[in-house]
């Protein structure tokens, strides 16, 4: 009887180990890797999109651009080639959400400082006010690190079209001319293929934490 019980216990132990191995492989097979969506215009509030793109389902890329940064350097899409980056729209004299957004973008800058794959890009929506000198002054005040974060100014029509047709992140003003806009609090996560992978409220700490987590998810997808 004692022998039988020993054999039964041994059989039970072996069966238990086999069961654990089977459960592990089933879990591993069913495990779903988290992936970020690829945004298309039809996934975004129509207020933030040029009317020509309303309900468009085609995956869009950020358009080519040519703007000037806080150091007077010409910045194009080439500076962001094969980079993950976070973009937003602001202006240096904004008294409301911009200071909070800039402070939070500086938090992102600190988190990505040692990562050469990730950059930041902030577009002025009042380029007639935000000269190179004004951007430089603002950059120095806010702790902008030049090789990580470009503050750009330039042709207002181009900036407006980038906001409305590429980044899907600005509302039309409607009373100051065809290229006036109301920028939003959105931070936009862009992948190496120049596609939008996420929108985040740049005024909220929890959204910044989510953005930093999503940056790591996106980066891992290239490994």
**Residue 98 annotated as binding?**
yes
User: What is the reported pLDDT for 51?
Assistant: 65
pTM score? 0.80
pLDDT (tens, 9 = 90+) of the chain, 223 residues, equals 555 445 555 555 555 556 545 554 444 444 446 899 999 887 777 666 666 666 666 767 899 999 999 999 999 999 999 999 999 999 999 988 999 999 999 999 999 999 999 999 999 999 999 999 999 999 999 999 999 999 999 999 999 999 988 998 877 664 445 566 677 899 999 999 999 999 999 999 999 999 999 999 999 999 8
- Residue range(s) defining the domain that contains residue 15: 1-31
Residue 80 lies in a domain: yes
pLDDT value at position 77?
97
Is residue 19 domain-shared with residue 88, that is, in the same domain? no
Identify whether residues 93 and 27 lie together within a single domain. no
H or E element, residue 167: none
Amino acid 34: pLDDT: 80
One-letter-per-residue 3-state SS of 49-95: CCHHHCCCCCCCCCCCCEEECCCCCEEEHHHHCCCEEEEEEECCCCC
Asked if residue 86 lies in contact with residue 121, where contact means CB atoms within 8 angstroms, the answer is yes
- Nearest of 43, 50, 78 to residue 166 by alpha carbon: 50
The domain total for the chain is: 2
In-domain check, residue 36: no
Strands (E), the chain: 66-68, 74-76, 84-90, 118-124, 149-152, 170-172, 181-183, 186-190, 196-201
What are the residues whose beta carbons fall under 8 Å from the beta carbon of 104, sequence distance 6 or more? 187, 202, 203, 205, 208
Task: Say what the pLDDT of residue 55 is.
Answer: 64
Residues 108, 203, single domain; the answer is yes
pLDDT of residue 171: 73
The per-residue pLDDT for 213 is 98
Please report whether residue 132 resides in a domain: yes
122 by DSSP, 3-state: which?
strand
- For residues 27 and 4, state if they share a domain: yes
Strands 149-152 and 118-124: parallel
Q: Are residues 159 and 89 in the same domain?
A: yes
The whole-number pLDDT of residue 31 equals: 41
Q: What is the pLDDT of residue 203?
A: 97
Number of other residues whose CB lies within 10 A of the CB of residue 142: 17
Torsion (CA) 195, 161, 91, 215 in degrees, nearest 10: 0
Residue 113 backbone phi and psi in degrees, to 5? -55, -40
């Amino acid at each position: 009887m004692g022998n039988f019980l020993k054999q039964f216990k041994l059989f039970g132990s072996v069966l238990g180990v086999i069961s654990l191995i089977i459960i592990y492989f089933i879990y591993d097979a069913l495990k779903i890797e988290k992936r970020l969506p690829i945004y298309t215009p039809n996934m975004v509030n129509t207020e933030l999109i040029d009317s020509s793109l309303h309900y468009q389902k085609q995956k869009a890329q950020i358009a080519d651009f040519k703007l000037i940064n806080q150091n007077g350097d010409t910045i194009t899409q080439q500076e962001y080639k094969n980079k993950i980056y976070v973009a937003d729209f602001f202006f240096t004299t904004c008294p409301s959400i911009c200071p909070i957004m800039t402070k939070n973008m500086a938090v992102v800058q600190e988190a990505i400082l040692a990562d050469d794959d990730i950059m930041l890009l902030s577009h002025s929506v009042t380029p007639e006010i935000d000269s190179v000198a004004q951007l430089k002054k603002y950059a120095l005040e806010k702790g902008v690190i030049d090789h990580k974060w470009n503050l750009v100014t330039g042709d207002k029509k181009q900036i407006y079209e980038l906001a409305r047709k590429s980044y899907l992140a600005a509302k039309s003003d409607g009373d100051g001319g065809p290229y006036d806009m109301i920028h939003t609090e959105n931070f936009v996560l862009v992948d190496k293929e120049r596609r939008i992978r996420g929108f985040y409220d740049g005024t909220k700490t929890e959204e910044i934490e989510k953005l930093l987590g999503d940056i790591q998810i996106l980066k891992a997808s290239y490994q």
